[in-house]
């Protein structure tokens, strides 16, 4: 598993650029998450689409009116980053890394292996 540097930005190149007036967005740049981003989504139930949408908007700094025009494939790409950010807030990623470092076995954290080469025969 590759550890994500929490201080780097991540970029999603959009398949379909988003437009609002004369402004066109061809990529979304996600900053490292802060508690401010989690608070932006706090008014919605966890794991709901509005929660994810508010977190997405806060992480990339783009207004929701523009992001609402996103196609499903671009949304899915963005959700990878949003979900990983949320897992950092919950401590899930930290727990996974700690358990893996302690035992060498990623399933010790209760999280399934990341790829099939880590899966053992039952």
Q: What is the pLDDT along the chain (122 residues), one digit of tens a residue?
A: 455 566 689 999 999 999 988 999 999 999 999 999 999 999 999 889 999 999 999 999 999 999 999 999 999 999 999 998 888 888 775 655 555 566 555 554 454 455 544 444 44
Name 13's bridge partners.
27
Q: Which domain holds residue 43?
A: 10-112
Whether residue 121 is contained in a domain is answered as no
The structural domain count of the chain equals: 1
Q: Is residue 73 part of a domain?
A: yes
Does residue 5 sit within a domain? Answer: no
Looking at the domain assignment, is residue 75 inside a domain?
A: yes
């Amino acid at each position: 598993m590759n550890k994500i540097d929490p201080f780097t930005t991540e970029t999603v190149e959009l398949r379909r650029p988003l437009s609002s007036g004369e402004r066109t967005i061809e990529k979304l740049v996600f900053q490292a998450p802060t508690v401010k981003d989690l608070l932006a989504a706090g008014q919605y139930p966890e794991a709901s689409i509005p929660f994810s949408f508010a977190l997405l908007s806060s992480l990339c700094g783009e207004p929701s009116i523009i992001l609402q025009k996103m196609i499903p494939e671009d949304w899915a790409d963005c959700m990878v980053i949003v979900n990983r950010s949320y897992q950092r807030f919950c401590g899930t990623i930290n727990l996974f890394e700690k358990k893996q470092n302690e035992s060498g076995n990623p399933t010790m954290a209760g999280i399934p292996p990341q790829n099939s080469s880590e899966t053992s025969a039952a």
